[in-house]
Amino acid sequence: MRATARLVARVDRRGQTVLAELRGESPLLLRQVPAPGGGVTVYVVGGAAGPLAGDDLRLDVEVGPGAVVRVHTVAASVALPGRPGAVSRTLVRATVAERAALFWLPEQLVAAAGCAHVADSQVAVAAGGTLHWRDELICGRHGEQPGNMEINTWVDLDDRPLLRQSLAVGPNAAGWAGPTVLAGASATGSLLIVDPARPAQSAAVCGTRARLPLAGGPATLWSATAPDAHTLREYLEPDTATDTIAASAGGEEREVVRVG
């Protein structure tokens, strides 16, 4: 199956964010819902199971100057096996203009046994733009080992590379469950926040969570592994990610291991 979807947001004469374009194809169906506090909120609704091996799904998001967009998904996405030897692919391309904001906060991606899936994200943020970008991966459904999954995230800020991140799990990824990668954890993810108004934070590690300020811009990356999806989400909620490292250490800064 091949499907594309596109979301374009602009600011109207009253200064309100409006959707200049909103279209999709099953299983990438886009639905706007009421958005308290300004901006627009769009949900990606899966119109079919999958992605299945062989699927090619693409979503483009364009946030114009001053616009505010929040994107969620209705439920987790489960990458499933399909034709032998086939690979499923998803590509999300997003641009965030100056003074614009994109909050990309989907539900988790599950690598079901036997799947072969590649998820690519390409994001360009202009100077003065704001981005919250969360990726979460669950390695297999309950009681099963994951299939092959590769997640690649590229983010540029003001036309310069900000983040290049890749993760592969499954039978074809040697050592993925070992101590240098997931160390046996079944859930992993990251939250990138680019925000020129956000105070800078130092690098820190506590347990299976890490906070890393990125060079080249007002950006911080939170990364975590967890034993389950629920715990991972607690670690990577944008409103609480800033505080989770200190909170887990009892609020005592001395218990946070500084790495930079």
Predicted TM-score (pTM) above 0.85:
yes
220: in domain: no
Residue numbers of the domain that contains 89: 2-197
19: in domain: yes
pLDDT(260) > 80: no
Which of the 8 DSSP states describes residue 50?
-
Confidence of residue 254 (pLDDT cuts 50, 70, 90): very low
Confidence of residue 37 (pLDDT cuts 50, 70, 90): confident
240: in domain: no
43: in domain: yes
User: Which pLDDT value is given to residue 85?
Assistant: 85
149: in domain: yes
Confidence of residue 1 (pLDDT cuts 50, 70, 90): confident
At which residue do the structure tokens 């200190």 appear?
246
Look up residue 83 and give its two tokens.
């034709």
Confidence of residue 203 (pLDDT cuts 50, 70, 90): very high
Average pLDDT, the chain: 90
Residue count of the chain, please give it.
260
- Which of 46-50, 105-109, 215-219, 252-256 comes out lowest in average pLDDT? 252-256
- Nearest-CA neighbor of 71 among 80, 79, 62? 62
Look up residue 97 and give its two tokens.
């203009």
Domain total for the chain? 1
At which residue do the structure tokens 């299939």 appear?
147
Give the integer Cα–Cα distance in Å for 80 and 23: 25
The highest-confidence range among 33-42, 44-53, 59-68, 199-208, by mean pLDDT, is 59-68
| Residue 105 near residue 74 (C-beta atoms within 8 A) | no
Q: For a pLDDT cut of 90, what percent of the chain falls above it?
A: 78
Q: Please compute the mean of the pLDDT values over residues 2-26 and round it to a whole number.
A: 95
143: in domain: yes
219: in domain: no
CB count within 10 Å of CB 192 equals: 24
